Chains A and B, each alone.
Chain A
Amino acid sequence: DTAVSQTPKYLVTQMGNDKSIKCEQNLGHDTMYWYKQDSKKFLKIMFSYNNKELIINETVPNRFSPKSPDKAHLNLHINSLELGDSAVYFCASMRGWDTGELFFGEGSRLTVL
């Protein structure tokens, strides 16, 4: 069974469109994250969310919004897509700080034309 799964794996769309990427984890972890990895491979935190609190990286445009219907899901919604949004988006989860281990999904490659 896949621990952290993301869909879709590939997404090609036009500027100005709205799109969503779904993420589910079956590990029972309390905290989930979204990271963006750009063409230079820099992995940048976008959001952190647990059942108590959403933490947003202040540099993330408000066109990006996380939505968590329940503890096992953290979806990423993007409005009015721009060329610079092209990247690989990784979802991850963590059980707790005692292990410090992030479990990553396979990534979703978004291409904005």
Chain B
Amino acid sequence: GQNIDQPTEMTATEGAIVQINCTYQTSGFNGLFWYQQHAGEAPTFLSYNVLDGLEEKGRFSSFLSRSKGYSYLLLKELQMKDSASYLCAVSPLVTGGSYIPTFGRGTSLIVHP
């Protein structure tokens, strides 16, 4: 099975930097994903890491260490609109070649003025 852990809630100040950590244990590994979900909306894709290292995309960066089963999402120059839930997801390879992204419980980020 899979076990994905991330903090339940974090708070930060507008303009600051915040790092949201995710640790995982999974049988087989085919990538780690981060999604953003605003209240009342569907999740939207932020990033995908399959190899170790840092992937940067604008104000958002995602890091992966496969040997440690660890990832983080780094948000820079925080804006009020970044207040949302951030979901870490991993996907093992299941029988038949299907991939089934499995989500952590999400981290609710609150950005203060």
A residues near B (Cβ < 8 Å) are 31, 33, 35, 40-45, 48, 50, 52-53, 55, 90, 94, 97, 99-107
Contacts and interface: CB of A to CB of B under 8 A. Distances in A.
A99 B48 contact: yes
A97 B106 contact: no
A103 B30 CA distance: 18
A41 B102 contact: no
B107 to A, nearest CB: 10
Contact of A104 (B42, B91, B105): B42
A24 to B, nearest CB: 15
B33 A100 contact: yes
A103 B42 CA distance: 9
Contacts of A106: 41-42
B72 to A, nearest CB: 18
A104 B37 CA distance: 11
A50 B98 CA distance: 8
B96 A104 contact: no
Interface string B89-102: 00100111111111
Contacts, number: 70
A42 B103 contact: yes
How big is the B interface, by class?
Answer: 20 to 34
B83 interface: no
Contacts of A102: 33, 35, 43, 45, 101
Interface in B1-51: 30-31, 33, 35, 37, 41-45, 48, 50
Contact of A100 (B44, B91, B102): B91
Contacts of B85: 41
Contact of A53 (B30, B35, B37, B98): B98
Contact of B100 (A33, A43, A99, A103): A33
